[in-house]
Structure 1
Amino acid sequence: MTGDYQELVDEISALLGAPATLENRDFGLVAFGAHDSDDDTAMDPVRTRSILTRRSTPAVRAWFEGFGITRATGPVRIPAAPEAGVFRDRVCLPVRHRGVVLGYVWLLDTDPGPTDEQLTAAMEVAARIGALLADEARAGADLSREFGAVLAAGPGRQHDTAVAALREALGQDAEGLHAVVCVTPWGADDTPSVRGVASAAALATVSAPGAAGPVSLAALIRLRSADRLDPATSAADRLRTSAGPGATGGIAAPRRGLDALPVSWREAVASARAARAETRLGPVARWSAIGPYRLLTALPGTGSDPADPAVASLLTPLHKELAHTAEVFLDCAGQASRTAGELGIHRQTLYYRLSRIEQITGLDLGDGEDRLLLHMALKGARL
């Protein structure tokens, strides 16, 4: 699996002189060619939705399938239907491998449209796409077990054995650039197919240590550049819709190869936890953006053990407003004017609350170590 769908779609676009879009057989967007921004008709509502949400609606899918594209072995011309949001005629190139349809290449038809010779050449490229999709499907059927084994393995020989098995299954993709994604809690009944998640090399469900921990979904996402995490973000957003309400996503730092997958998984889990704790980070957070939570999530027992005795009373429902005041004060680096502005209160009210916080906790908010303890306890409580 080389993951060069974009290059093949661009090749078809160049052959036919029109922007092409590749979707898998579930109508999930895989890749699309650039279009002329001056041509307003090139982006009808169906095409726009497909690109922006990376998926077509069930109604659109049923409408297109009504033209026999699931059975077709050659190009299918589909007329415009403004009432369905389809304002332009289309050409569909079925992507097949060994007789099985695996996806579709879509083009907006023109007048005059592509010649038979051009369409024949484009179908040859579509066949190459089909071979790639078939390879990906075969690998994905096995990689859930192999990928999950790497994430669950202990250090040493167990880890090395699991990584070797995953490396063999991935082939040349194994040494490529990846980002690990965590979606938690995973409320779906099973692991989705990699075919439904663009750029996914492997997916696996992972149980947290301890019977009470939530089940999470892990995804290994191919990247073209360490500076472009868009494929990982799109995958996390796509998977969250299947996970159920309240699910958050986390994205680890990008890395090459597989040896550091356990580290990447810890980063992805930490980022998802941070997204859940801080709404400003979520619903999908990147490891590079979670700040102090990179340290807090690594502390043993964070979020499960009782709070530090000095802070425990402040964290009760009775003192919820004071706890919020303390957190905002510390987030504002102890600057009273900024804190009062953030809270929308008078500075004298702030000073009164701060004195109450000191009385309840026994901490001195003018002392750096006491501030650090209080700030860590408040952030840790969010986890």
Structure 2
Amino acid sequence: MRDDLQDLVDEVSRVLAAPATLEDADFTLLAFCAHDDSGADPIDAVRTRSILTRGSAPETRRWFEDFGIASATRPLRTPAEPAAGILTRLVLPVRHGGEIRGYLWLLDDGRIDPDDDGDPALERAQDLAADAGRLLAGRAAADLGDALADVLDGRPGARPPAERRLAERLTGDGLQVLVALCPAGGAVPRGWRLPAAGAVATVVAGGAVAVLVPLPAPADLRPAGALTAASLRSLPAGSSAGVSAVRRGAAELADQWQEARTAARIAAAVDRFSPVAHWGELGAWRLAAQIPGPDPALRPLLADAVLAATAETFLDCAGSAARTAEALCIHRQTLYYRLGRITALTGLDLADGDARLLVHAGLRAARLRDGTRPPRS
């Protein structure tokens, strides 16, 4: 990208026949054209300092920002300030996605009229400024993705500064959720890109895509819903997604990632949550997700898919034979036969509360481990 920015600055300088400098929105120098030391090119204290120190002093930044450069959407001119050794400049705002990404500065000696919409050289320079905006936006997204990766990886040294960088991007009240997108097959398709806007940061982590999404209010999950829906349409059929609980700031992102991944795993295995599960809606499934595996007593039951589905449906229906038979579309006598077989296989009587809890939690844990939905007959 550095070479691309340098080529772009050289082209702007050539098109407008003036020394050009590119800085980001924080006035950090990114690229500049070579200066002609014969005296043909103008130079002032601001350009000299920027090149030598790779940036500008805070008072210099404030002086230029007072002319509205941060909100400008078209070229403008800043005046000279002889007492401070500042020459007049043509400023091309570098924007992308509605945000200021940086500035192209040209020491043109006042030759170019920023309001001349018929100047083909100025029009070409504005197109190049738009190209710079896209490049800088891509760099910013990659940097924030790296920060999110540092937080989710849990590396102690890298985590605090990464959290601060992400928190700076969470505007307003800093409310956000973390979304986990889990592609079917366990791998993100080659070349796949997030199809919707609105994310602060995105990174691929452990075969899933982590997306940090800011929210306008604690109960307003519409931004996450819109992004998740668009993303699932662009992923292979059978993909799932999970949405964490709402938090403020970036200090609990690692916990949110665990919530989002768990919710996505449940969405993949449980019809009523598919294809998107929200952590706050999962109820007892959150507890089942923490169980490493079913009790050994359930192994014979798990080997019989029909009986396992019968037991799970019976327990989901709170032990109601009528509701269970209706849900499974079987005769009640068939249900009683199957319940007897379950007791014979496991030694567990589903009329007993402790046995019910053990079987129910174990069946759910097995479903999440295997990622399969049971037959319903």
TM-score by length of structure 1 reads 0.58
Looking at structure 1, the residues matched to 273 and 205 of structure 2 have their Cα atoms a distance apart, in angstroms, of 23
Matched residue, 1:229: 221
- Alpha carbons of structure 1 residues 330 and 133: separation in structure 2 relative to 1, 3 Å: farther
The one-letter code of the counterpart of 1:140 is A
Looking at structure 1, the residues matched to 97 and 231 of structure 2 have their Cα atoms a distance apart, in angstroms, of 20
The one-letter code of the counterpart of 2:312 is E
- Alpha carbons of structure 1 residues 281 and 172: separation in structure 2 relative to 1, 3 Å: closer
Aligned ranges 1:1-383 → 2 under 5 Å: 98=93, 102=97, 137-154=138-155, 157-158=156-157, 161-168=158-165, 171-173=168-170, 176-184=174-182, 185-189=186-190, 192=193, 196-207=195-206, 215-299=207-291, 301-302=292-293, 307-316=294-303, 319-383=304-368
Looking at structure 2, the residues matched to 293 and 354 of structure 1 have their Cα atoms a distance apart, in angstroms, of 23
Check conservation: 2:199, 2:211, Cα contact below 8 A: yes
Give CA-to-partner distance per residue, 1:142-162, whole Å, 9 cap, x none.
1111101100115xx44xx42
SS of the aligned residue for 2:290 comes to coil
Looking at structure 2, the residues matched to 133 and 222 of structure 1 have their Cα atoms a distance apart, in angstroms, of 22
Looking at structure 2, the residues matched to 167 and 353 of structure 1 have their Cα atoms a distance apart, in angstroms, of 57
- Alpha carbons of structure 1 residues 293 and 320: separation in structure 2 relative to 1, 3 Å: same
- CA-CA distance at 1:134 after TM superposition: 8.8
Matched residue, 2:374: none
- Alpha carbons of structure 1 residues 167 and 271: separation in structure 2 relative to 1, 3 Å: same
- CA-CA distance at 1:375 after TM superposition: 0.6
- Alpha carbons of structure 1 residues 242 and 172: separation in structure 2 relative to 1, 3 Å: closer
Give CA-to-partner distance per residue, 1:86-108, whole Å, 9 cap, x none.
xxxxxxxxxxx8467758xxxxx
Bigger radius of gyration: 2
- Alignment length, in residue pairs? 243
Looking at structure 2, the residues matched to 140 and 282 of structure 1 have their Cα atoms a distance apart, in angstroms, of 29
Check conservation: 1:310, 1:361, Cα contact below 8 A: yes
- CA-CA distance at 1:377 after TM superposition: 1.3
SS of the aligned residue for 1:165 comes to helix
Looking at structure 1, the residues matched to 246 and 358 of structure 2 have their Cα atoms a distance apart, in angstroms, of 32
Of 284-293 and 238-247, more deviation after overlay is shown by: 238-247
Check conservation: 1:186, 1:243, Cα contact below 8 A: no
The one-letter code of the counterpart of 1:178 is Q
SS of the aligned residue for 2:348 comes to coil
Give CA-to-partner distance per residue, 1:276-302, whole Å, 9 cap, x none.
110210101100112222112223x34
- Alpha carbons of structure 1 residues 140 and 99: separation in structure 2 relative to 1, 3 Å: closer
- Alpha carbons of structure 1 residues 237 and 327: separation in structure 2 relative to 1, 3 Å: same
- Alpha carbons of structure 1 residues 169 and 275: separation in structure 2 relative to 1, 3 Å: closer
SS of the aligned residue for 2:210 comes to strand
- Alpha carbons of structure 1 residues 177 and 100: separation in structure 2 relative to 1, 3 Å: closer
- CA-CA distance at 1:239 after TM superposition: 2.1
- The alignment-based identity, stated in percent, is 39
Give CA-to-partner distance per residue, 1:195-239, whole Å, 9 cap, x none.
x432200001112xxxxxxx1100000100111112112212222
- CA-CA distance at 1:267 after TM superposition: 0.4
Check conservation: 1:188, 1:242, Cα contact below 8 A: no
Looking at structure 2, the residues matched to 205 and 267 of structure 1 have their Cα atoms a distance apart, in angstroms, of 16
Check conservation: 1:191, 1:204, Cα contact below 8 A: no
The one-letter code of the counterpart of 2:296 is P
The one-letter code of the counterpart of 1:222 is P
Looking at structure 1, the residues matched to 134 and 166 of structure 2 have their Cα atoms a distance apart, in angstroms, of 15
- Alpha carbons of structure 1 residues 133 and 295: separation in structure 2 relative to 1, 3 Å: farther
Looking at structure 1, the residues matched to 189 and 361 of structure 2 have their Cα atoms a distance apart, in angstroms, of 34
